[in-house]
Structure 1
Amino acid sequence: MNSVCKICRQKHFEEYAADSSAESESDTDSTDGLPQLGSASGNLDAVDVGMGLSDPEITQNEDPEQEWSDEDIHFTVDPPRLASGNSDTNPRATPEDSTRKRRRPTVEEVEDEDERWVQPFPPERGAGEILRDGNIPRRCKTQFQKLREKQAEKGHAPWEPFESEDEWELAHWLMTSGLSGKKTDTYLKLKKVREGINPSFHNNRAFLKYIDALPEGPQWTCYPFELVGDELLLPVGSTLVPIIIASDKTQLTRFSGNQQAWPVYLTIGNIDKATRRRPSSHATVLLGYIPVAKLEIFSKKRSGVNHQLFHDCMRTMLQSLKVAERDGVTMDCADGFVRKMYLILAAYIADYPEQCLCRGNTTHAPWRCPTEILQTLADQSNGEYPTEFVDLNLRAINPFWADLPHCDIFRSMTPDLLHELHNGVFGYHLVKWSTEAMNGGQAEVDLRFCTMSPHPSLRHFKKGISLTTQWTGTERKNMEKVFLGVLANATAPRVQLAVRGILDFIHYAHFETHCDDSLLELDGAWSAFHNNKDIYVELEIRKHFNISKLHKLKHYVDSIRSRGTADGTLAGFRFKPHRVQ
């Protein structure tokens, strides 16, 4: 049995060696490390084939510690191991066997398909990244360091262009002390200064030249932004002139007939408000007088006729404005040029009764549309009796502003600080409500005003406030300064918060210049009052707050944004031209 197995194995080996001989004929690599099948004499040693083929020999790897698995080794030739034994039973090697290359097992690098390569995106950006070592000297220099180096190169002192450090200190004091140019000239011309300090500059002009010679900081750059309105409504090249009309019912005589009239004043919005309010500038002109007729020819009092008479007179006085607003007029300007002007009634300054007279209704809220109001008045005159006529408290009149094409009389009514705030909301309403809410009533209020400590900037009401029947705007303002202190610890906290809201509103409304922040504070003061006004209802002092003057405060912010600050349309300015006349 063993002999048969050996013969079969020898035959299998000879067939395997014959198949692989064709692939190894062209390969001339060395066969070091492999056992030779034949000796130099050509005799073939016996091959031990009793136990099968021997283990293969593999290529040594450079890394001795690397371990190989069976899957990483590929066998190409499995030569038999040479052994001593019976030579008659072993196959003999041919001459080609001595030069034939034996293939070595190699390791094939196969990429692991399970391995994943991850690249984060976006890359991590850590805060506080170090740019350079802090021990390395700084290469960048400040502007002052560069300036000092230039002065050192030229041999100049640090106080250049002044002659000494003392002179530099004098110049620093002159610039920061707030002295005017004339005061600086007077100081430099003093004998003690000329003979004692004797600076290199002897007047303000020379001093300013030294200041201009000092090193300058970063230059300022101006980027002007122009806000252009809706100019498509006007022809190209035209100029808009906002017209401001003011009227106030004035007592002309006191002891000879009790005559009254409405003086009507006119000015334009292109003139600065400080110039308009100065009587000596004559920027406000008297347009005319509208008499207050007693209408004694009627047996009964007819106020509607008086209202229509006022509008007819205003229509006559503003007849030329109708053409100027619609078609424009050429006018001479102050710079000597002639331009085409479009005059539009933009603001009407009046106290509350005259505002109602001009609008044609007794309530200010809500905002009215001029077109809808004119249509309602036309329907009423035709006998249709629309419900809006009663709901809006309209008067059956033909208003003068109906002929002005671009006039919105309802938005033209500007804030009236005197009649709406000082004498209106504060003087007539808030003082009365807060007095009733105080413990002790009017007597306690008078006592607190009387016992208040005198102060140079505050008025001392030594007899209280109950005996005064005719209040002026100045007296109301003096009362506003101390009224919140009078209410301290004598009223409910919400009463004090409501009063403070009105006082803050009055304070912000008097600003000569407004910004978004100040208008936000103005609106916040109005909200503070409305958030706490219900305390007067809880104390049964008021049943409602349907007061037109109180409601109009809501529209102060819109009016200031569109027509400027409220001090430019103060009611007091229109009395001065009348006194000058």
Structure 2
Amino acid sequence: MLTNPDFADEFDIAPYREYDPLLKQQYTNLMSGNWAWKQAQDVIVADDPQTDGAMYCPLILGTDKTTVSVAMGQNEYHPVYMSLGNVWNNVRRAHRNAILIIAFLSIPKTEKRYANDSRFRLFRRQLFHASLAEILNPLRPFMLKPDITCCPDEHFRRVIYGLGPYIADYMEQIVVTAIVQNWCVTCHTQRQHLEDLCKGFNVRTREHAKSLARVCNRKYLWDTYGIINDILPFSDDLPHADIHELMAGDLLHQVIKGCFKEHLVDWVFAYIILEHGETVGHGIWGQIDRRLAAVPTFPGLRPFHQGRDFKQWTGDDSKGLMKIFLPAVVNFIPPDMTRAIKYFMEFCYLVRRSIQTEDTVARITHCLERYHHYRQIFVTTGVRPEGFSSLPLQHSAFHYPHHIRQFGAQRALLVHYRVKAYQSCEGTMAALK
């Protein structure tokens, strides 16, 4: 990827700060974020003649355990894919060889009676981290000492590599960060307080986790901090890498398919059943499906000829439903429920922008605050009588303003990687067979 001449005019050799005409900072590519700026200052030390003036090259990694069914049958694969943080987001979004699968992780299996055994789960997680550490081991010497490499513009530069943002859905995130399920992987918010509005959160760090491990026992770490002390994360052996700082948001699985499709949409239909009963409620469901099916053909609108009643939802299906869902249900839900959906959908569209400014980040925060206020309607109507503490995906939305300032525009960086991964899985495995 570094020597690909196609990237010559769409490649950053150094972090930068970008401002709009009103002199407000704006965020686009990864190298325009605050994280890349700080990381280069920490890694490219001017006092060291070996690293002074070197080009910092962050590696964007991601993992996604998936089932490939189109060409390969019901087979599970665990691909590891990589991209360069120096490449512009539009290149990565267009899949111009800016995302590559570099490995397939082993998926250990056992008899059903041992599947939930704590020792087997520990072995499976430690194998995951040991595999990633081995995969990145060839680059480790060049994370401290520059490697002379030809760049896309055909200039040779001294390159220092580093671990960049890590992309994964929530279930992968808790494995990567060695955090207990239903805890936040980014901040120290207690599991029972995840539904509270997140302001001024304390970011987790590996140094803090190691300090706690020296004075606290395993059970206390698990119950009080949500830390799994038995696992050594792969990033601990890499210089200038803190896996908690590098966990970036996953728009597709956390926000679009998670918070919107699996939460809000399902909660609306659960409310209709609670309010009107089974018979009338299913009749209203039928009316909503007919409204969804009646949407006229138009560029950018996805047809739902059978309403929402089909088995497997893709990311494109969920994004298509988001465009037409509110008009279809507005007559059947309370005003506060409409407002909650409205503010969350506005949040979704704002975080998917390719260019973010401080004004849009402030608007994102405002939408989250209003959504946090109006979503209480799901508690008062009995849809979520237990609240939202058990939903870390809902809590993760409050970290998106921080992610944007750190890593740039989230949509261009993080949404489209899985399409490439799925295509590469099927093509690569078919070629191997």
Instruction: Please confirm whether the aligned pair reaches a TM-score higher than 0.5, indicating the same fold.
Output: yes
Contact 1:377 1:397 in 2 (8 A): no
Tell me the equivalent position of 1:149: none
Kindly state the Cα deviation for residue 341 of structure 1 after the two structures are TM-superposed. 1.8
Tell me the equivalent position of 1:369: 205
Tell me the equivalent position of 1:270: 86
**Alignment CA distance shift 1:463-1:332 (3 Å):** closer
Tell me the equivalent position of 1:576: 420
Tell me the equivalent position of 2:196: none
Tell me the equivalent position of 2:283: 443
**Alignment CA distance shift 1:516-1:404 (3 Å):** same
What is the SS of the residue equivalent to 2:159? strand
* 1:240 maps onto 2:74 in alignment: no
**Alignment CA distance shift 1:487-1:521 (3 Å):** same
The two structures, once aligned, show a CA RMSD in angstroms of: 2.9
Contact 2:291 2:328 in 1 (8 A): no
Deviations for 1:52-79, whole angstroms, at most 9, x for unmatched residues?
xxxxxxxxxxxxxxxxxxxxxxxxxxxx
Kindly state the Cα deviation for residue 527 of structure 1 after the two structures are TM-superposed. 1.2
Kindly state the Cα deviation for residue 311 of structure 1 after the two structures are TM-superposed. 0.6
**Alignment CA distance shift 1:574-1:535 (3 Å):** closer
Letter in 2 for 1:446: G
Tell me the equivalent position of 1:488: 330
Letter in 2 for 1:563: F
Larger radius of gyration: 1
Kindly state the Cα deviation for residue 295 of structure 1 after the two structures are TM-superposed. 3.6
Higher relative CO (Cα under 8 Å, sequence separation at least 6) belongs to 2
Tell me the equivalent position of 1:557: 401
State the percentage of identical aligned residues.
25
Letter in 2 for 1:312: A
Kindly state the Cα deviation for residue 335 of structure 1 after the two structures are TM-superposed. 3.1
* 1:411 maps onto 2:411 in alignment: no
Contact 2:368 2:398 in 1 (8 A): yes
Match of 1:454 among 295, 298, 303: 295
Contact 1:247 1:350 in 2 (8 A): yes
TM-score (norm 2): 0.74
Kindly state the Cα deviation for residue 232 of structure 1 after the two structures are TM-superposed. 4.8
Deviations for 1:490-514, whole angstroms, at most 9, x for unmatched residues?
2221111111111111111111111
Letter in 2 for 1:403: D
Kindly state the Cα deviation for residue 515 of structure 1 after the two structures are TM-superposed. 1.5
Letter in 2 for 1:391: T
Contact 1:267 1:284 in 2 (8 A): yes
Tell me the equivalent position of 2:102: 287
What is the SS of the residue equivalent to 1:489? helix
Cα distance between partner residues in 2 of 1:459 and 1:255? 25
Kindly state the Cα deviation for residue 299 of structure 1 after the two structures are TM-superposed. 4.9
Tell me the equivalent position of 2:174: 356
Cα distance between partner residues in 1 of 2:372 and 2:133? 40
What is the SS of the residue equivalent to 1:241? strand
Kindly state the Cα deviation for residue 312 of structure 1 after the two structures are TM-superposed. 0.7
* 1:506 maps onto 2:348 in alignment: yes
* 1:545 maps onto 2:403 in alignment: no
Cα distance between partner residues in 1 of 2:55 and 2:135? 23
Tell me the equivalent position of 2:235: 401
Tell me the equivalent position of 1:320: 138
Cα distance between partner residues in 2 of 1:515 and 1:256? 44
Letter in 2 for 1:368: R
* 1:426 maps onto 2:260 in alignment: yes
Deviations for 1:497-539, whole angstroms, at most 9, x for unmatched residues?
1111111111111111112222222222111110111111111
**Alignment CA distance shift 1:321-1:378 (3 Å):** farther
* Long gaps (5+) in structure 1: 1-222
Contact 2:297 2:303 in 1 (8 A): no
What is the SS of the residue equivalent to 2:331? coil
Deviations for 1:149-182, whole angstroms, at most 9, x for unmatched residues?
xxxxxxxxxxxxxxxxxxxxxxxxxxxxxxxxxx
Letter in 2 for 1:454: V
Contact 1:377 1:389 in 2 (8 A): no
Tell me the equivalent position of 1:464: 307
Deviations for 1:94-118, whole angstroms, at most 9, x for unmatched residues?
xxxxxxxxxxxxxxxxxxxxxxxxx
Kindly state the Cα deviation for residue 351 of structure 1 after the two structures are TM-superposed. 1.6
Kindly state the Cα deviation for residue 386 of structure 1 after the two structures are TM-superposed. 6.0
**Alignment CA distance shift 1:559-1:491 (3 Å):** same
Deviations for 1:305-349, whole angstroms, at most 9, x for unmatched residues?
111111110010011233222333332223333322221112111
Kindly state the Cα deviation for residue 420 of structure 1 after the two structures are TM-superposed. 0.9
* 1:392 maps onto 2:225 in alignment: yes
Higher helix share: 2
Cα distance between partner residues in 2 of 1:462 and 1:336? 52
Cα distance between partner residues in 2 of 1:436 and 1:296? 37
Cα distance between partner residues in 2 of 1:473 and 1:299? 34
Contact 2:99 2:417 in 1 (8 A): no
What is the SS of the residue equivalent to 2:154? coil
Cα distance between partner residues in 2 of 1:229 and 1:418? 27
For residues 142-161 of structure 1, the aligned pairs below 5 Å read none
Letter in 2 for 1:548: P
What is the SS of the residue equivalent to 1:523? helix
Contact 1:245 1:267 in 2 (8 A): yes
Cα distance between partner residues in 2 of 1:255 and 1:451? 35
Q: Which segment is superposed worse, 449-458 or 338-347?
A: 449-458
Cα distance between partner residues in 1 of 2:376 and 2:215? 40
Kindly state the Cα deviation for residue 464 of structure 1 after the two structures are TM-superposed. 3.3
Cα distance between partner residues in 2 of 1:402 and 1:525? 36
Tell me the equivalent position of 1:519: 361
Q: Which segment is superposed worse, 540-549 or 565-574?
A: 565-574
Cα distance between partner residues in 2 of 1:377 and 1:316? 25
Cα distance between partner residues in 2 of 1:434 and 1:257? 35
Cα distance between partner residues in 2 of 1:246 and 1:548? 20
Contact 1:332 1:339 in 2 (8 A): yes
What is the SS of the residue equivalent to 1:293? coil
Kindly state the Cα deviation for residue 463 of structure 1 after the two structures are TM-superposed. 3.6
Kindly state the Cα deviation for residue 377 of structure 1 after the two structures are TM-superposed. 4.8
Contact 2:205 2:245 in 1 (8 A): no
Cα distance between partner residues in 1 of 2:41 and 2:291? 63
Contact 1:349 1:571 in 2 (8 A): no
